[in-house]
A and B are shown apart, each in its own frame.
Chain A
Amino acid sequence: MKKVFGRPKSLKATPFHYCPGCGHSIIHRLIGEVIDEMNLQEKIIGVPPAGCAVLAYNYFDIDMGEASHGRAAAVATGFKRVLPDRIVFTYQGDGDMAAIGTAESIHAAARGENITTIFVNNGVYGMTGGQMAPTTILGQNTTTSPRGRKEKTEGFPINLSEMLAIARGSSYIERTAVNTPANILKTKKAIAKAFRLQMQGYGFTLVEILSACPTNWKMDPVKSSKWIDEVMTSHFPLGVLKDNSGDKKDAH
């Protein structure tokens, strides 16, 4: 019988611990497929964050070095400067990236640090139980914005990718989602493009991925996927925010 579908070889045979409907499992798989297809397993180094994806090293069959909360871009900088011919990526959530790690993110982009960031935006602090994140949208209920986020008291959410696109050192930034098969395919292409541009020395690349957190959103997975399309994307529009690669077409 012909095998038409299998586990990417850069993922270990370990079942994911992520909740049903969570986007991390899909994103892990996409990264694994890209690593396999680009033959990077022996020369890629990943930096997992503090947060739900901290255990990524249990799933990826590649070298990985843990960063503390928000510091992934700095840790990845250390890796890349010692090993400039390896591919280095960070895997970060929205709290990690856009709150506690804002400085590290902006300055890695400004330096044009030749690394790739996979920025998983689900609008909440997942691992700690669904608190308000820097990307929680106005009106959204979380355990620390129980009456819904209001601009007067909790302030506005941050569109970090748009900010990083302004940085002169960033070369490619795209926002995608993993809520539909079409968006999942686009996300995979964006990750592959970011890694390719890093190999070509373009400098800082980032793929922001809107990802569902049904457990903390208190919605079922189907409703969560719809919510991304109907609500989340109006605050975080999908598409290419920056592309210095000179590619005629976008990643798709």
Chain B
Amino acid sequence: MPKVLMRGNHVVGEAAIRAGCRYYFGYPITPQNEIPEYMSEKLPEAEGGVFIQAESEIASVHMVIGASMAGGRVMTSSSGPGISLKQEGISFLCALELPAVIVNMSRGGPGLGNIAPSQSDYFQATRGGGHGDYRTIVFGPNSCQELADLTYEGFNLADKYRTPVLVLGDGMLGQMMEPVELPQEIPLKKLPAKDWALTGAKGRASRFIRSLILDPIKEEEHNWKLMRKYEKITREEVRWETYFADDAKMMVIAFGIAARIAKGAIKRLREEGVKVGLLRPITLWPFPFKAIKEISKKVKHFFVFEMNMGQMLEDVKLGLEGNGEVHFYGRPGGVILTPLEIARVISSQYYQKRLG
């Protein structure tokens, strides 16, 4: 299929529609406004398509809940402060075991912060910013192509596991344009049947979907059931990639757009003979703990680069279990480093550790 030049936020919308998403509920916030704008343009043209600009982030995520209960493929999107408001609904989506895709084109924080690209929502995304014992699948794409592929795949995983999937991008990924090969559109008839959806009890017993489980023994059972699902996801859905890892003496670990910048730095450093590689988690939850532990058998020096104050850093340390020295370099607030700048910091660490 030929490539098209598209902006990241538009890619999300188009990939969702091609994945059979016909329902989008959102609320404006920069830097993701092109997603609702795209959906408002395209969904009414698609069979059964519905776009609603809701009165709030809270209302939009609860419209997602209703549409998901009714069996639709449904999406919402926002950025930092708006995702905070959606956390109530995300906790309910998990408890009610409902599929949905939620996109966060994150920005500088905390508070209103700014509208520049930042990765400061890693904790919120991977720890679950809402109440209760739950996990959400979190993708950390680093290109417009991956935005297309992971948004599309997100709908399949959400349906497969009946759980919400978060796509954690950032303002840079949402705003930049790249050539993208779009995924094949799935006909609505080929979408998986949902024998649990609430459609009116025609020709079958009535059913209900609820999260209130007053009996502690039954609530415990429900928590165990969710836990078994999360364990299966952890076993089967972890994704990561490595770059120049084979002979690396120092591994950079970065996700999303920071990993993209780090790749440029590593390419430059390799030309100078600096033996540095990259491990890039693609799923931020489940996190590739095993891959990190495996690499720590060969490599002892790790360089974690994030556009925040050190959030994924904690997962890296958990994965290493003490087997390796970790240096952290973070730039919060929406500051974007060039590959040259980050190359200088990496190489300074590399030579300080007398690796070259």
Contact = CB atoms under 8 A, between A and B. Distances in A.
A63 B63 contact: no
B92 interface: yes
Q: DSSP class of B's interface residues: helix, strand, loop or mixed? A: mixed
Contacts of A80: 66
B4 interface: no
Interface string A48-64: 10100011010011111
Contacts of A42: 200-203
A60 B206 CA distance: 9
Given A65-B66, A68-B92, A104 B208 contact: no
B77 interface: no
Interface string B55-99: 110111011111111111010000000000000110010001000
Which of A50, A55, A64 has most chain B Cβ within 10 Å? Answer: A64
Contacts of A48: 210
A111 B52 CA distance: 10
B85 to A, nearest CB: 12
B198 interface: yes
A73 B206 CA distance: 21
Nearest to A73: B59
Interface string B189-221: 000000000111111001111111000000000
A78 B68 contact: yes
Contacts of B52: 77, 81, 111
A184 interface: no
B332 to A, nearest CB: 32
A167 B54 CA distance: 16
A44 interface: yes
Interface residues of B, number: 39
Contacts of A74: 54, 58-60, 62-63, 65-66
Contacts of B62: 67-68, 71, 74-75, 78, 104
Interface in B140-155: none
B200 to A, nearest CB: 4
Given A74-B59, A77-B52, A66 B208 contact: yes
B50 interface: yes
Contacts of B92: 68
B25 interface: yes
B67 A57 contact: no
Interface in A57-111: 57, 60-68, 71, 74-83, 86, 103-104, 106-107, 111
Contacts of A55: 212
B208 A78 contact: no
A79 B67 contact: yes
Contact of B72 (A44, A68, A82): A82
Contact of A75 (B63, B199, B206): B63
B134 interface: no
B200 A76 contact: no
Contacts of A47: 66
A110 B356 CA distance: 68
A75 B210 contact: no
Interface string B24-52: 01000000000000000000000000101
A179 interface: no
Interface residues of A, number: 37
A82 B56 contact: no
Contacts of A34: none
A106 B54 CA distance: 12
Contact of B200 (A50, A81, A86): A86
Contact of A63 (B50, B65, B207): B207
Contacts of A77: 52, 63, 66
Contacts of A235: none
A43 interface: yes
A45 B209 contact: no
A164 to B, nearest CB: 14
Contacts of A54: 210, 212
A37 B120 CA distance: 56
Given A78-B25, A104-B55, A107-B55, A66 B198 contact: no
A135 interface: no
Nearest to A60: B206
B285 interface: no
Contacts of A67: 62, 65-66
A83 B70 contact: yes
A154 B212 CA distance: 31
B122 interface: no
B23 interface: yes
Q: Top 3 nearest A-B pairs by Cβ distance?
A: A78-B66, A74-B62, A57-B208
8 contacts: A43-B202, A55-B212, A57-B208, A61-B206, A62-B200, A62-B206, A63-B208, A76-B66
Given A64-B198, A78-B68, 15 more contacts: A54-B210, A55-B212, A62-B201, A63-B200, A64-B206, A65-B208, A68-B62, A71-B58, A71-B59, A74-B66, A78-B23, A79-B198, A86-B199, A103-B58, A104-B58
